[in-house]
Amino acid sequence: MNNSMKFLVSEKDSNSRLDIYLSKKVKHLTRSNIKKIIDLNQVKINKKITNSSSKKIKPHDIIEIKFYIKNVDKLLPNKIKLDIHFEDKDILIVNKPKGMIVHPGAGNHQNTLANALVYKYKNGLSNINGSSRPGIVHRIDKETSGLLVIAKNNLSHSKLGKQFSDHSIIRKYLCLVWGVIRPLEGRIETLISRNKKNRQLMTVADFNGKKAITNYKTIKVFNGKDIPKISFIECKLETGRTHQIRVHMKHKGSSLIGDRQYGKKSIKFKKINKDFLKILSALNGQDMHAKSLGFVHPSKNKWVNFESELPSDFKKMLNLLKNLSG
């Protein structure tokens, strides 16, 4: 695949600004990123380089864009075994383990998925998001396990990014939550914004937030003598806001089991099964797994869907709950 895209300007787009036109066509890139691309002489109109973001385009103009590469600190490769679920010349499907951060951030510069990808693939991944995020199209939380799609080239990255932007990618998660969500199946639509008291957390907002939609259904409610009520939930995302499922479950009054940020700091039980308490105490973060990922393949233009099994610690908790609830 080439790391460029071409567009033929139609009559309806006549007299549009170049940067606005391209931001509509390449939805994964922001308008500021489009401007940087233009400033770096990586956009041509009718085979001639232009560095004017405000240039007005005309019908039948042929616009070519090459993807901007950010200048960032070099990412250190780390030899970490990856669980590759699927691979071809354009994409990887990685099954991320619980506890692994997707890419470097403040205080976390090594042992991330990105470090592992650099070690294995070197320069064989997209670099639209810069060399610190090779191939990274989307993220899941550190303590969430499951599937991620990785782009091997910039055009694949752009096409996948557009699907995320259009909310056409299918993402399903499995999680365990305290209590019972009412109704048992439904749709949660809110605004989500940064928590004013703690900027590391997100919260449901009345205004000035981003639209967030989670569809959920209860697969099973566990209810036994020696355990509290716990629900096994499937969530299907229409949007992908930071901590979206965790925030929405808390909003419904049912935080995820093991969630130390959005759940209760401590839970007291009048009577509790010792095996359940042992597994619960050993949990390192929420019980949530990115089970399913479906999208249009960037070069084959066919719908593909990938599924992954629950990790062993999640299965262990689930099996115990089934046994205890009878």
Active-site residue list? 141
CB 218 within 8 A of CB 185: yes
Q: How many CB atoms lie within 10 A of CB 80?
A: 16
CB 239 within 8 A of CB 212: yes
**What CA–CA distance (Å, rounded) separates 293 from 145?**
13
CB-based contacts of 147, cutoff 8 Å, min separation 6: 85, 93, 94, 95, 96, 290, 291, 292, 293, 306, 308
**What CA–CA distance (Å, rounded) separates 189 from 187?**
6
The CA-atom distances, in angstroms, between 143 and each of 184, 306, 318 are 25, 21, 17
CB 99 within 8 A of CB 285: yes
